[in-house]
Structure 1
Amino acid sequence: MSLNISVKQQAKNAWVISLTGSLNTETAPAFGERLQPLLNNPGGTLALDMAGLEYISSAGLREVFKAQKAQKAVNGKLVFMGLQPQIRKVFEIVNALPSMRIFSSLQEMDDYLDSMQKQVTHPGDPND
């Protein structure tokens, strides 16, 4: 099965990467290449929308973890949303979920990003 990758800029420093299909040995290199230009953006957030992802292999996990490491190096975030049960199970098996931020929807992610940005622009404001 193939992998369709759609990238949409959500805010100045945030992108949603929607994945549909299978992230495996054949498709992982293209996924890594597609993410590369987005990774070295200090403080940026990448959201992987996995609602359409049906399968992930160890090669796919490797690319996800490489992206997570790259984001951490520039104080950025890699977050997840819409994990199918079988994809969530894979992340649980490798004990990755507790360290990852997962959202149920784009709206929940937008609310979180809005809150994080307000903490930076209005530090200490109790209304944020």
Structure 2
Amino acid sequence: MTLSLHSEFPAPDRVIVQVGGRLDAMTFGELDEAMLALLPRLDAGGTVVIDLAGLEYVSSAGLRSFAKIRKSMRARGGHTLLLNPQPQVRKVFDIVKAVPVSEVFTSTQELDAYLDRMQRQIIEGDSDA
């Protein structure tokens, strides 16, 4: 199976990237190239949401791609959040501790609740949000 990618910008400071198929040594370059084109379009301090519902397999090469995205977003004052990982993909993240658990969400509702909580903290003056 190959890699499938789809992206949308629901807001200037957020991009949602849907990743499907296999992210491995043969396909990681596709994700890297796509992100090189997408990230400059995102406002500084924005958020990349990577929806993994369709991702069936991730290798160490795929993990490096996610690490590059996270590093790039941190350098821009932004965030990278992972959504809907299938159990086998989540297990890989758990094993290698590649992504902080606080950045992986099991559903859109869980992600929305997190984003709502972050925004309320900022509005209420909690600068640690």
TM-score (norm 1): 0.84
Q: Unpaired segments of 5 or more residues in structure 2?
A: none
Q: Which residue of 1 aligns with 2:80?
A: 78
Cα deviation 1:9-53 (Å, max 9, x = unaligned): 132311111111000111100101111233354111011111110
Q: Is 2:115 aligned against 1:124?
A: no
Q: Which residue of 1 aligns with 2:20?
A: 20
1:57 counterpart letter in structure 2: S
Please say which of residues 51-60 and 97-106 is displaced more in the overlay.
Answer: 97-106
Please say which of residues 66-75 and 40-49 is displaced more in the overlay.
Answer: 40-49
Change (3 A) 1:115 1:38: farther
Aligned-pair identity (%): 42
Aligned partner of residue 100 in structure 2, secondary structure: helix
Query: How far did 1:99 drift?
Result: 5.3
Query: How far did 1:89 drift?
Result: 1.1
Q: Distance in 2 between matches of 1:92 and 1:23?
A: 17
Q: Unpaired segments of 5 or more residues in structure 1?
A: none
Query: How far did 1:105 drift?
Result: 1.8
2:109 counterpart letter in structure 1: Q
- 8 Å contact kept, 2:23–2:55: yes
Query: How far did 1:100 drift?
Result: 4.6
1:55 counterpart letter in structure 2: Y
Q: Which residue of 2 aligns with 1:11?
A: 11
- 8 Å contact kept, 1:17–1:47: yes
Change (3 A) 1:124 1:100: closer
Please say which of residues 104-113 and 23-32 is displaced more in the overlay.
Answer: 104-113
Q: Distance in 2 between matches of 1:25 and 1:109?
A: 29
- 8 Å contact kept, 1:80–1:100: no
- After TM superposition, the structure 1 = structure 2 runs for residues 34-73 of structure 1, keeping only pairs within 5 Å, are 34-40=34-40, 41-73=43-75
Change (3 A) 1:114 1:9: farther
Q: Distance in 2 between matches of 1:67 and 1:98?
A: 14
1:27 counterpart letter in structure 2: T
